[in-house]
Amino acid sequence: MMRETSLPRAAAPFLGFARLLRRHAFAIASEQVSGFMQAVTLLGPRSMNDIREAALATLAPPPDRRDEFEAHFQSHFYGNTSAVVEADADEETRIKDDGGADDERIEAEHSQEGGELSSALEQLSTRDFQRDDDRLTAFRRKLSTALPARRSFRTVRTHSRGKLDLRRSLREIVSADGDVPSPLLRRRQTVPRKLLMLIDVSGSMKLHTADYLKLAHAAVQGADRAEIFTFGTRLTRITAALRIRDRDQALARAAAQVDDWDGGTRMGPTLLAFLSVPRFSSFARGAAVVILSDALERGDHAELEMAMRRLSARAFRLSLATPLAGDPRFRPVTAALRAILPVLDDLVDGSSLAGLTDFILSLARPAPAAATIWKRVS
């Protein structure tokens, strides 16, 4: 406070803008604020545009929050509070730190859902809840060691079967006055592959999305690198929300980010949108990709087929878990499923948490391709 009063009055609006951004969960460091003011001075400023450019260059808002940044700029410097603050639908949704209104919305959604579900179902889920919780805890513990592994380009020390680590060996030699002790070795590190889960939140999956999100939370908590997206008519990245350790808080945050709960599905277009954002599609590269969906694509399935082929080309293993496969009479006979079956590594039952956790924990074990298995069954 003392420092602030000694600053010239002209600096106040800039400091105020940085404070406003911080209140809306933009990570702004003090050195960025001083950089902002230096930049404004360097540019003149000759116009408001100079101030905007200086703010963009020094406060560095992430590209997917540029619209929100612009709205705050408008409201702070122009007093225009009507500017709409909305994130881009195809990009990562913003992280909301100050819940307030959003918490109320989640409450409303929950009570609505409760009213719509039959009481018998509610009782059933309450009875299973404890067992599911134990199962998810065990799943979280086992996950990081159960995922398929790959060799990284980073190296670690080893006692056998490695390459000579000259750098450290030489240090040993020098400290031993030129004597040659046993040489130190290094080998390439083994790291778990990424886990990418794409969760269908459309109306037809309504009964399963709550379980899937719990599973996703356990996956993010347990795996070194897990990425979670939801899709329906839009695509939303909810990984950041699920990093919160407390499950209820994490799920509430994730629920607030998803705008297309219980709506329709545009599986093909949303997966193509996922693939066309380089940052997102790189999550799929070399990863174990698990899609939790009934894959009931309405209309033409050409886009779904193309998206799945592309995902399969990037992924280490591409799996579709559908709740429909819980029925013993299920066969992949819809046009969409028939089209994507050849590119799937697994087509498994996604109707229960028990089955899903066991399946994800078995991803490192080789299995015949989905088409082979389902051909045998039908």
**Cβ 240 to other proteins, closest distance in Å?**
9
CB of 260 to other proteins, least distance (A): 18
Residues whose CB is less than 8 angstroms from the CB of residue 297 and which lie 6 or more positions away in sequence, other chains included? 265, 267, 268, 304, 336
Closest CB to other proteins among residues 43, 371? 43
Q: Give contact residues for other proteins (rule: CB under 8 A).
A: 27-29, 31-32, 35, 38-39, 42-43, 49-50, 53-54, 56-58, 60, 62-63, 66, 152-154, 166-167, 170, 173-174, 178, 269, 272-273, 275-276, 278-279, 281-282, 306, 309-310
d(CA 163, CA 280): 35
Minimum gap (Å) between residue 355 Cβ and other proteins:
32
Q: What is the DSSP string of 333-352?
A: -SHHHHHHGGG-SEEEE-S-
Whole-angstrom Cα distance, residue 351 to residue 334? 18
Nearer to other proteins, 108 or 174 (CB): 174
- Print burial letters for 318-345: b (CB count within 10 Å at least 16), e (below 16): bbbbbbbbeeeebebeeebbebbbebbb
The residue (of 50 and 128) whose beta carbon lies closer to other proteins is 50
Q: Which is nearer to other proteins, 72 or 208 (CB)?
A: 72
Which C-beta is closer to other proteins: that of 63 or that of 368? 63
Nearer residue to other proteins within complex by CB, 77 or 261: 77
Q: What are phi and psi of 257, to 5 degrees?
A: -85, -30
Q: Which two tokens stand for residue 311?
A: 């995902």
CB of 368 to other proteins, least distance (A): 26
**Helix, strand or coil, per DSSP, at residue 229:** strand
> Cβ–Cβ contacts within 10 Å for residue 56, how many?
16
CA pair distance 231, 267, nearest whole angstrom: 7
Nearer to other proteins, 36 or 330 (CB): 36
What is the closest distance, in whole angstroms, from the C-beta atom of residue 187 to other proteins in the complex?
13
Q: How far apart are CA 85 and CA 115, in angstroms?
A: 32
Nearer to other proteins, 321 or 344 (CB): 344
Q: Which is nearer to other proteins, 122 or 300 (CB)?
A: 300
The least distance separating other proteins from the CB of residue 48, rounded to whole angstroms, comes to 13
The nearest distance, CB 41 to other proteins, in angstroms, is 10
Q: How far is the CB of 307 from other proteins (least distance, A)?
A: 9
Query: What does DSSP assign to residue 235?
Result: E
CB of 55 to other proteins, least distance (A): 11
Q: Smallest Cα–Cα separation from 202: which of 256, 110, 280, 267? A: 267
Pairing state between β 195-200 and 235-237: unpaired
Strand runs labelled E in the chain: 149-158, 163-164, 185-192, 195-200, 226-231, 235-237, 288-292, 317-322, 346-349
Helix (H) or strand (E) run with residue 372 in it:
helix 370-377
Q: Which residues of 268-304 are buried (b: 16+ CB within 10 A; e: fewer)?
A: bbbbbbbbebeebeebbeebbbbbbbbbbbeeebebb
CB of 199 vs other proteins, minimal distance in Å? 20
Q: Which residue number, 150 or 338, has a Cβ lying nearer to other proteins?
A: 150
Residue with tokens 């699920």, as numbered in its chain = 242
